[in-house]
């Protein structure tokens, strides 16, 4: 992210500890639903094995027009997609609507506040975006996270963790 920070973007850069792949965004959730959500997610975790993901490539959302998010791509074969679909289906049974957009796993590297330096960003991504490799990382747990928006960015709090089968 240091190279992104040097481009002169007016952006918010998440702390490394805040980097995550969102499997399902729930939005406002009633406190009395949390235990039911925990049970559903624990059942998902019991059906799934640990796996690895590869983080590589960079791009923006939206792809055309003024970018708002800079992301790193997440690749893994099928395990992450199967986990996400299992989470999606389990929570749909609890009344949470299914996501209409296809799942695009990514890590948000920056949230752009303005169009300042987006030409530099585009040139940087044309030069280095496709070849950027961050490495391979184990996925042995997923979490239920509460996020609170603050002027300086989102603050995340782990509500519950769900170790995947085969995790230590």
> What angle do helix axes 34-47 and 79-92 make, rounded to 10 degrees?
150
Euclidean distance between CA atoms 38 and 138, whole angstroms: 22
Question: Is there a catalytic annotation at residue 106?
Answer: yes
* Residue in this structure with the two tokens 């289906």, named with its chain if needed: 89
Out of 1, 18, 20, 42, the active site residue is 20
Contact 48, 82 (CB under 8 A): yes
Angstrom CA distances, 143 to 112, 121, 159, stand at: 26, 32, 7
Whether 150 is a known active-site residue: answer no
Residue reference for tokens 């695009």: 104
Q: Are strands 153-163 and 133-139 parallel, antiparallel or unpaired?
A: unpaired
Tell me which H or E stretch contains 62. Answer: none
* Candidate list 9, 106, 110, 144, residue with the active-site label: 106
Strand segments (E) across 8-65: 11-12, 51-61
Active site residues: 20, 106
């Amino acid at each position: 992210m240091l190279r992104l920070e040097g481009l002169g973007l007016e952006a918010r850069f998440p702390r490394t500890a805040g980097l995550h792949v969102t499997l399902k965004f729930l939005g406002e959730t009633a406190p009395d639903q949390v235990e039911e959500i925990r049970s559903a997610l624990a059942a998902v975790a019991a059906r799934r094995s640990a796996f690895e993901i590869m983080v590589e490539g960079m791009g923006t959302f939206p792809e055309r027009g003024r970018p708002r998010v800079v992301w790193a791509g997440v690749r893994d074969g099928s395990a992450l997609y199967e986990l996400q679909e299992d989470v999606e289906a389990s929570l749909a049974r609890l009344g949470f609507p299914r996501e209409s957009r296809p799942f695009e796993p990514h890590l948000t590297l920056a949230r752009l506040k303005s169009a300042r330096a987006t030409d530099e960003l585009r040139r940087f991504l044309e030069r280095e975006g496709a070849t950027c490799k961050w490495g391979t990382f184990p996925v042995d747990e997923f979490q239920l996270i509460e996020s609170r928006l603050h002027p300086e960015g989102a603050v995340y709090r782990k509500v519950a963790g769900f170790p995947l089968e085969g995790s230590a």
